[in-house]
Each structure stands twice: as structure tokens, then as C-alpha cells.
Amino acid sequence: MDDERDVRRRVIEAADRLFYAQGIQAVGMDAIRSEARVSLKRLYSLFASKDDLVAAVLADRSRQWDAGISAAAASAEGPRERLLAIYDFLGTWFREDGFRGCAFINSFGELGGVSPQVAEAVREQKASFRRYVDDLVAEAGGPPALGAQLAILAEGAQTTAAISGDTTAAADARTAAETLITTALATSG
């Protein structure tokens, strides 16, 4: 018998692939069941509703995002470069096959108005990212307002890249971030 954690992981990964490729509303639980190779009964024993499954997928995506951003920042030297590493991370992600934008923004667009659970999961991820950027700004000695500005640039780059298919949105956002950081650090110090 499959270990419960392994089956849960398989279902989350299958749902993530399908939701990201096709959209949440376009994918039924039966398609997820088939992709994950579990019975419908087992699927519903793990996730009582589709919203519960979407929330689990978003929690997993949040862990992946946090790990990717942290790894990019960790490889950069100095606080300023750690901030700019966010946009380098985005540039790499935008060039991946199958890039369809931010799963959180996509989920909010589809379900934010009708699913409080999904809306809350998305809001928490965005707030967590903002706190992360705020911490990097503080480490760099920048003013608190800079965190919001840099986070908005990252969010806008994700949306622009998804809609336009133009991966240069990350480089454009990085250039704007460099200007903001230089100006903010020069006036705050």
C-alpha cells in the first residue's frame, strides 16, 4: 500500500501540473485522479474539496518560490546584489518551458472572488514575499518604502512576461530596481 505522504505528494504534483497548464476551473477532480493514479475515493479522503487541493498546491508552490528566491539571494554577494538576484531568478524562471505566469496570480484571477480559502492563500504568499523583500531592503540600509516598490516590480514583471511572452520583463524590472535601489540608498544614507 502506498504511503499516505507519497500519495498526497503525487496528487499535489499532478494537480499542480494540470492547474498550471490548463487553469484550475478547466481541470476536474477526475482528471487529477487519473493523472495522480489514485481512486476518486482516495483523492477525496486526502482533500475534501477542490479548494482544499488548490490550497495545498499553493502551499507547495509557496515553498518552491521561497526556496528558489532564497537560493538566488544566497548566491549573491552583498545586500544590493541579493535584492537584484530576485530579478535574475525571475529571468531564469520566465525562460522555462511551459512558463504561464505566477500560479498565485493565476489562481487569484480564477478563484479569488469566489473562494476565500484560495484568496487567503494567495494573499499570504504575496505578503510573505513582501516581508522577504523588506528584510533584504533593511539589510541594505534602504528605506521601508523601497520594499514595496521592488516587490511591485517583481509582481509586474511576472504578469508582463506571462501575458506578453517576453522574457525580457525580468531584465527590464532589474534595471528599474537598480535605479530605485541606487536612488533610495543615496538619499537614505
Last residue of a domain, one of 12, 30, 48: 48
* 73 and 44 within one domain: no
Q: Is the pLDDT of residue 189 over 90?
A: no
Residues 147 and 68 in one domain: yes
Residue 69 lies in a domain: yes
Q: What is the structure's pLDDT at 134?
A: 98
* 154 and 63 within one domain: yes
Q: Give the CATH number for residue 167.
A: 1.10.357.10
Residue 2 pLDDT exceeds 90: no
pLDDT digit string, tens, across residues 104-130: 999 999 999 999 999 999 999 999 999
**Cα–Cα nearest to 40, from 111, 48, 51:** 48
Phi/psi of residue 97, nearest 5 degrees: -60, 140
Q: Based on the domain organization, do 68 and 153 belong to the same domain? A: yes
Q: Are residues 44 and 63 in the same domain?
A: no
pTM attached to this predicted model: 0.93
Q: Do 103 and 182 fall within a single domain? A: yes
24-74 pLDDT tens trace: 999 999 999 999 999 999 999 999 999 999 999 999 999 999 999 999 999
Provide the grid cell at 112. 479569488
Same domain, 81 and 109: yes
Distance between CA 80 and CA 143 in Å, rounded? 13
Tell whether 53 is covered by a domain: no
Q: What is the CATH number of the domain that holds 29?
A: 1.10.10.60
User: What pLDDT is attached to residue 48?
Assistant: 96
Looking at the 3D structure of the chain, how many domains does it have? 2
Using a pLDDT cut of 90, give the percent of the chain over it.
97
State yes or no: pLDDT of 1 exceeds 80. Answer: no
pLDDT for position 188? 78
Percent above pLDDT 70 for the chain: 98
Assigned domain for 74 exists: yes
How far apart are alpha carbons 114 and 24 in whole angstroms? 13
Residues 44 and 62 in one domain: no
Give the mean model confidence (pLDDT) for residues 93-101: 96
Buried b / exposed e over 65-104, threshold 16 CB at 10 Å, is beeebeebbeebeebbebbbbbbbbbbebbeeeeeebbbb
50 with 140: CB under 8 angstroms?
Answer: no
Q: 122-164: per-residue pLDDT in tens? A: 999 999 999 999 999 999 999 999 999 999 999 999 999 999 9
- Domain limits for position 39: 1-48
